[in-house]
Amino acid sequence: MQSAHIVSAYDEELKFLSKRIAAMGGHAERMVEQAVAALVNADPGLAQKVIHDDLVLDEGQREIDDKAIIIIARRQPMATDLREIVGAIRISADIERVGDLGKNLAKRVAAVIDGRQPSSLFRGLEALADLALTQLKEVLDVYASRSVEKIGFVRDRDDQIDAMYTSLFRELLTYMMEDPRNITPCTHLLFCAKNIERIGDHATNIAETIYYIVTGDQMPAERPKGDKTDQVVVPGPASAK
Amino acid sequence: MVDKGADQKGAIPAAVARLRRSRWLLAAAMVAVLGVYGFGGLSIFVPLLALALLVAAAMLPAEAERQSANGAAAIEVGGLQRLSGEYLAAAVADPLIIFDRTATIVHANAAAFAAFGGLAPGMSLSLKFRAPEMQALLDGIVSGTMASDVVDYTEKLPVERTYRVSASSVGHATDLYVLVFKDQSEARRIDRMRADFIANASHELRTPLASIAGFVETLRGPARNDAAARDQFLQIMQNQTGRMARLIDDLLSLSRLEMKPYLRPGTAVDLRQTIDSVIDSLAPLANENGIAIERDFTDGAISVPGDRDELFQVFENLLENACKYGQSGGRVTVSIAHAEDGQDPGIDVTIRDYGPGIAEEHIPRITERFYRVDVENSRTQKGTGLGLSIVKHILTRHDARLSIKTEVGKGAAFTVHLPAQ
């Protein structure tokens, strides 16, 4: 935790920012969790709730932006404090995006539940979502504890998410080739998988911001990405002569 | 008769005196007991607590003059003073966290540290427990709009846990508050297990059942008098019932494991002996498939903490897969080695086959329930689609890792890394 300032109200303001970030984070985690549950259990009611809940995150981000600008103007923060405040602005933007992605998942529920898809697809999506949510949870836990030495896991997990995403991508393409009637739901599921994968990317962004807040250095350069969907080609059935 | 009455008269004052001598101990014990239960259901015990204090206070002046004479009394008084909040918190088996007006952790007991990693005094509770209902609970208690409240809190990851969380303020105007977590995961998991079992079982059992029903119909109708067909059909039906039986066995052991995914088994297991017996038990299958099993064990004692039966099942499933799906390679290597490099020392057990290998896109999903790399091949090899799922669950319980290295056309290596501690 940061050392006390002479003006205790300043401390209060900084604490308010981190508390608000945590509340937003918890909300985003819950939204994604429920959106995936709505998708897997074909529950349009739950999906509607998630869509509605996104408002809270939008409002949270606006509030953090306003507060942060006011603190910068009034207190002229330096060093750690400045990083803390700028970091809060960036993290809240990432969390807000996670919420948007969760909302987008929920919006697709209606399109997917008409034709039942093989349950292995939903199990795959669920496993992908578990990976992304674990990453988000661990990153936000690091934000609470400030123990940045634990942040290395984020990139390992990112590799797993990419591998899982590539595998799902391939499977979805195969289903679409098999039967053109699958194209509509499978396209929606493809976007769902992409959204979940993006949630993992935002979690990585947040991890980098936290690393910067605590150490003052940027995180070392990124390793090559494991997302190979840009190369996935499923050969079509042999064309007639 | 007279003697007995005198005895009784003597016994009663003696008992009273004994009670008085140990009054501080009794009072302390009562406060402790009431404290523990009080966090669960406050309302009934508040008057009782007050009564206990009243009794203790009433006894104090009557005994005051004797106190100076009685040396032991001083120690007993100290006993009550030593009963600090910290000792009380440590005696509570449920996770318990004491926090202040800014929702900052003042004290957390050992159970809380064990249940929620990364807690430390001075940390903000609202940063750690981010779920909306927990935020509302903390805000409500700290702002003073509620004296006490109870919510249900579920953590989905890494393992699903459900707690009933009660929050209340401590004493009068101490500015301290307490959170107590009651674990309800077991009950929730039993419900889930029932639902999952029915869903999975009905889906996977329908196929063999449909086939059996079809053959029964044929046997009663067109094939009634065809001895050759009857024999063949009965053989198929027997295979199908065998498959259903295996499926039920696997589903049951998976459900059992899922019920307690984070119970860490305690005793040490001799890996050399365990893996030897796995190899022995699978020798008939290996012979049948024309597979030679090679051993490459490191020297010295090889033991890891764990549950022998569960680890047996892990290596049985892996070796069975290697024998079935790596049949074309003709041999399977089982090796045990100490893993010294890397951060966590432990034992690596590798089961390598030289069969067709597994395509890369299947690797991330191979431990999912009913995920099959090749559905047709799995059916003919009597696979249930649950083997690796069971392996993964057991390894999670042992804090172990499964890594898979494979190249199409050259075989696959499944490595189990078991931590030494």
Distance CA A69, CA A209 (A): 18
A141 vs B contacts (CB less than 8 Å): 118, 128
Q: Name the least confident of A8-17, A153-162, A177-186.
A: A153-162
Q: What is the dihedral of CA A182, A186, A188, A193, to 10 degrees?
A: 170
Peptide bond into B158 cis (omega under 30): yes
Per CATH, the architecture of B263-421 is what? 2-Layer Sandwich (3.30)
A15–B124 C-beta distance less than 8 A? yes
- Is the pLDDT reported for residue B327 higher than 50? yes
Judge: B361–A160 Cβ closer than 8 Å, yes or no. Answer: no
Residues of B in contact with A37 (CB under 8 A): none
Interface touch A130/B122, C-beta < 8 Å: no
Q: What would the pLDDT profile of B250-294 be if each residue is shown by its tens digit?
A: 888 877 777 766 655 567 888 888 999 899 888 888 888 888 998
Nearest CA in chain B to A57: B132
Q: Give the rounded percent of residues in chain B with a pLDDT score beyond 70.
A: 76
Q: Which CATH class is domain B92-183?
A: alpha beta
Which phi-psi region, left, alpha or beta, contains residue B300 (left: φ > 0; alpha: ψ -120 to 50)?
Answer: left
Q: How many CA atoms lie within 13 A of B253 on its CB side?
A: 20
Cα separation, B103 vs B88, in Å, equals 21
From B121, which residue of chain A is nearest by alpha-carbon distance? A145
Tell whether B159 lies on the interface with A, counting CB pairs under 8 A: no
Contacting residues of B for A166, CB less than 8 Å apart: 361, 364
Q: Find, among B373, B398, B368, the residue nearest to B386 by Cα.
A: B368
Q: What is the mean pLDDT of residues A136-154?
A: 83
Contact B368/A170, CB-based, under 8 Å? no
Q: Output DSSP code: residue B104.
A: B
CB proximity B223 to A under 8 Å: no
Q: What is the DSSP letter of B419?
A: E
Residue B296 β-bridge partners: B335
Chain A CB contacts of B140 below 8 Å? none
What average pLDDT does the segment B307-325 reach?
88
pLDDT score of B128: 84
Cβ contacts (< 8 Å) between A170 and chain B: which residues?
361
Architecture category of domain B187-260 in CATH: Orthogonal Bundle (1.10)
Task: Identify each DSSP E strand in B8-137 by its residue range.
Answer: 96-100, 105-108
pLDDT at A194 over 90: yes
Interface test with A, best of B113, B116, B156 (most A CBs within 10 A): B156
Query: Complex ipTM, two decimals?
Result: 0.77
Strand B346-353 and strand B303-305: pairing?
Answer: unpaired
Alpha-carbon distance of B44 to B37, in angstroms, equals 10
pLDDT in tens, A50-72: 999 999 999 999 999 999 999 99
Report yes or no: B157 and A137 within 8 Å, Cβ to Cβ: yes
Q: Residue B124 to residues A19, A84, A211, B97, B102: CA-CA distances in angstroms? A: 8, 16, 19, 12, 8
Query: Which residue is it, tokens 């074309």?
Result: B328
pTM: 0.67
Q: How far is it, in rounded angstroms, from Cα B97 to Cα B132?
A: 19
Q: Do B127 and A167 touch (CB under 8 A)?
A: no
DSSP-derived 3-state class of residue A41: coil
- Beta carbons of B118 and A30 less than 8 Å apart: no
Model confidence at A226, in pLDDT bands (50, 70, 90)?
low
pLDDT digits (tens, 9 = 90+) for A73-82: 988 888 888 9
The answer, yes or no, to whether residue A237 has pLDDT greater than 60, is no
Closest chain A C-alpha to B361 CA, distance in angstroms: 5
Query: How many Å lie between the alpha carbon of A241 and the closest alpha carbon of chain B?
Result: 30
Residues in chain A: 241
Q: Which of residues 60-119 of B touch A (CB under 8 A)?
A: 102-103, 118
Distance of alpha carbon A174 from alpha carbon A186, whole angstroms: 10
Provide the CATH topology of domain A8-218. Methane Monooxygenase Hydroxylase; Chain G, domain 1 (1.20.58)
Is the model's pLDDT at B64 over the cut of 50? no
Distance CA B46, CA A96 (A): 45
Q: How confident is the model at residue A192 (pLDDT cuts 50, 70, 90)?
A: very high
pLDDT, tens digit (0-9, with 9 covering 90-100), for B218-242? 888 888 888 888 888 888 888 888 8
Q: Do B363 and A167 touch (CB under 8 A)?
A: yes
Q: Which of B3-7, B83-87, B122-126, B257-261 has the lowest mean pLDDT?
A: B3-7
- Local structure of B402: helix, strand or coil: strand
Measuring CA to CA, how many Å separate A223 from each of A1, A69, A165, B77, B268?
31, 34, 18, 64, 40
Of B103, B123, B132, the CB nearest to A30: B132
The label of the residue with tokens 């249930």 reads B384
Residues above pLDDT 90, as percent of chain A: 41
